[in-house]
Structures are given as structure tokens and as C-alpha cells.
Amino acid sequence: MVKKHPTHGAHVPGFTRHCFFLSLLCALCAAPGWRAAQGPAAPAGAPPATPLSSGAQESEALQEAVRSSADNPQALIKNLEEFLRRFPQSARREQVLEAIYESARRGNDSQTAIEYGGELLKLRPNDAGLLSSLVELLDRQENALGRAQALEYTTNFVQRAEKELQESARSAGGKEKVPESATVKLAAAYLIRGKLYAGSAQPALAQADYEKSYVLYPSRRGAELLGDLAAAGNDFKRALDQYVTAFAFPGVDPAPAHKEEIRRKLGSCYRALHPSEEGLGDLVLVRYDALVREMAGRFQEARPQPGADPHDPFAYVLERPNGPPLRLADYRGKVLVMEFWATWCGACRLEGKLVERVAENFRNEPGVQFLAVNVDEDHTAVPAFLKAEQWTTTVAYSQGLERPLAVQSLPTLVIFDRRGLVVYRLEGLEPGSFMEALDKKVREVLRQPEAGSPPG
């Protein structure tokens, strides 16, 4: 099982804040027109530069807005609001709105976050992650107006997702051929709306949405919420059935403490129906075996080709969120940069952006390949994550590849040379030196002479 690295910033506020602002600057710098607007640097002794074009002025103003905020969320919000007033038609408007929204959330400025989150949702009406975080903010207000707004946002999202799924089914010739991303999005939307109904004392509507979600795309969270609803109504038999499913559900729970909470609920319900917990373990094992059989395709692991060395990473064929399977054997003879990450890993989100910026330096170098390997055992959140982050690096699911490479923490970056040997390994992330170190190492490996034939 992949574990979190102890230095990944979750408990180091200064490091986390620095990572956020560095990630933000990377995202804004990657917005449309940034590089073109910057232009080449003027040589020493050159005559005074001509006045900046409007695009260059905008780029310079945005860079200064981020830099002068000095890692202060309130200052950044104020600077970016001024930027939008100055450049209301900016091509970076969406990225700036997102930056204000995230800064307000991190600074516990709920009203500002709600205001700009609503504006951002108009531009991203199909963004499930944004909807979820915005609804959570509105629900925390604990007033009828906030819940009504959250319910309106969610119902509109559900209706669009239902229509998208129906259209996908028609074009694909049947629901069994519908892209998983469309199914996952609608299932997530049902869960979000169900929670709103539950919080508004409408258990029948909540249960209907939870059940729709689970039937559409079974998940640990869906089973747990159904269990919570049944337990609240003192239906311990039904609650126990759902908690057993939630606890036994295959895959890695994003938060170990959450798994412990499900275990507590499970034990409580079982003891309400039995004198002790004797027999509970057998019940969980039977349910686990049943779930694995039912969802064999979803949690299927990659296997080396018949007759290949099971410890050879290049013998694996990996599935992808989009596109055909990936044969790692196709990368023999190239320098391969492999980044292991997960959707729940905050440092991975930043490292993914930094890796992409380094990869841009090698876009005309056919001898190098960058690959982002996702270790989430439950792939539910991956498509939405990639859409929100807009990663351009090739992404594949690990499906057990982390084992022969002994990946024990995230993020982990591994570089293979042309012979297929690991020549560099980095666990964790130091943002200040990461890009320079990675670029230098890739160039160093590229300069090595090519081997006549790679090892088996």
C-alpha cells in the first residue's frame, strides 16, 4: 500500500502555503498567451525597450499581483480583484477567478469564496470538484438561503449530467459502452445533492439520490452515506448492511482515519443487533469477496506479459483514463521519467505542474518520455482531477507497477536510462530546487551513450 510521506506539508503551514502560491504562479504563467507576451529578454547594453503591448502589460500586471502578495491570501485576493477591474476581458479571467476562489477558501473568507465560486461555476458548469467545494461552503452557512442556492447549483448540474449520460449512451449504442467519466460525474452529483437533502431533513429524497449514485457507480462513500441515513432512522439492520459494504469496499481509502470511523459505525450497528462482535469479521470477508467479484474489471491489476520477468517494469501494460493501453516496452531505448502520484496527495498536485514545465523543455526531444502513474486503487476521482488540473503529461494507472519499483511514499519520481535501468529516484518534493534538479538530471542521462541492447 502506498503511504503518505511525512514531509508532504499537511502539517507544515509555511511549506503548504509556499507550495500553494508556487503552484498558483505556475498555473497563471501557463495561461493562454503568457509566454508569447513575455517575449525574449533584452541583451545587455540594448537600447530602451519599446512600450509594452497590451498583452505584455497584462502579463506583467498579473505576475506583479501574485509576487507582491507575499504569500498572503488576503493581499492576493485584493491584487487579483484589481487586476480583473483593470483587465475585465483578460484571457486569464478563468484562472484568476480560480485563484481568488482558492485563496478565499484557504483564508476562511467564505463570502468571497462563495461569490467568486459562483462566477467560476458559470464558466465551468460541468466541474464536479468545483461544485462539491462550493456546495460545502454554502452548506456551512447553515441558513436556508445558502442551502437553497447550493441545491439549485447541484440540481442544474445533475440535470446536465443526466442529459450527457443519455446522449453518451445513444451515441455509444448502450450504457455499457458509455465512458466511465460520464457515469462517475453523475454518480458524484447524486451524492452531493443527497447530502443536501439529508441536511435539510428530507431523508426520502436523500435516500433516492444515494441509491441512484450507488447503482450507477458503486462507491465506498455511497454505501457509507446510505448507512448513515439508515442509522439515523434507527434501521440498524439496513445500516449494518451498508457499513459492511463501505468497510469491505476494495481499494485504498483516501484517509486512514476515515476508515477507522467507518469501522466504529460498523461495530456500533453490529453490537446493536448482536450481543458481541463475534462473526463480524466473517461477514466483512464474505462481502469483500463478493465486491471483488462484482467489480473485477474496475480493480483489475496489470500483469506482465506471459513468460516475462514479473520484476521487470517494462513488461507491464497499463490502462489509461483515456486512450488505448500503454505498453511500457515501447519506451525501451528512451529516457523515461515516471512520476507516481494520487488524487489525494497535495504535494503530487504541485509536482505534476512542475514536471509539466520541465517536460516542456524537452518537447522536441524524441528520446525522452514523461509519464504520470496514478496509484489510486479506486479510479473514481481520477478523470475529474485530470480535467480540473488540465495535465498534458501522459497518464496511466499503476495497477501494481509500484510494487516492483518499491514505491512507498508520494510523490515519488523515477528516471530510467536507455538501458531500462533506474538511475535517479526522488521521494517527496522540494519545490525550490525540483525543476532545476530534474531538468539537469534528464539532460545528464540523455548525454550517456546509447547501449547496444537493453537488458531483459
Q: pLDDT at position 395, please? A: 94
Torsions phi, psi of 331, nearest 5? -95, 5
Alpha-carbon span 2 to 408, nearest angstrom:
5
Distance CA 103, CA 90 (A): 19
For residue 225, give the C-alpha cell: 452515506
Instruction: Indicate whether 66 pLDDT > 50.
Output: yes
- Pairwise CA distance, residues 96 & 24, whole Å: 9
| CATH topology identical between 11-34+55-294 and 313-447 | no
**H or E element: which one contains 409?**
strand 409-410
Going by pLDDT thresholds of 50, 70 and 90, the confidence category of residue 74 is: confident
Pick the CATH number of 313-447 from 3.40.30.10, 3.20.20.80, 3.40.50.1820, 2.60.120.380: 3.40.30.10
For every residue of 185-253, which 3-state class applies, written as one string?
A: HHHHHHHHHHHHHHHCCCHHHHHHHHHHHHHHCCCHHHHHHHHHHHHHCCCHHHHHHHHHHHHHCCCCC
CA 289 to chain CA centroid, nearest Å: 28
| C-alpha to C-alpha distance for 337 and 394, rounded to whole angstroms | 11
CA proximity to 21, closest of 82, 81, 89, 76: 76
28-39 mean pLDDT: 44
pLDDT of residue 384: 82
Identity at 334, one-letter amino acid code? K
Domain boundary assignment for the chain: 11-34+55-294, 313-447
Which residues 6+ apart lie within 8 Å of 31 measured at CB?
91, 92, 95
pLDDT digits (tens, 9 = 90+) for 116-147: 999 999 988 877 778 888 988 998 888 888 98
CB 385 within 8 A of CB 48: no
Reported as a single tens digit per residue, the pLDDT across 244-299 is 999 999 865 545 677 889 999 999 999 999 999 999 999 999 999 999 888 876 66
Look at residue 39 and tell me whether its pLDDT is greater than 50. Answer: no
- Per-residue pLDDT at 47 exceeds 80: no
Q: How far is CA 259 from the centre of its chain?
A: 20
Coil, strand or helix at 141: coil
Q: What is the C-alpha separation between 254 and 438, in angstroms, rounded? A: 28
Alpha carbon of 443 to those of 358, 436, 440, 450: distances in Å? Answer: 11, 11, 5, 14
CATH class belonging to 11-34+55-294: mainly alpha
Longest CA pairwise span in the chain (Å): 88
pLDDT score, position 21 = 53
**Separation between Cα atoms, residue 166 and residue 357, nearest integer Å:** 38
Look up residue 297 and give its three cell numbers: 474489471
Which residue matches cell numbers 498572503? 72
- State the number of CA atoms in the 13 A half-sphere of 242 facing the CB: 23
Within 13 A of 114's CA, how many CA atoms are on the CB side? Answer: 17
Q: What is the pLDDT of residues 286-344, one digit of tens each?
A: 999 999 888 876 665 545 544 445 578 888 888 888 878 888 988 989 999 999 998 88
Residue 372 confidence class, pLDDT cut points 50, 70, 90: very high
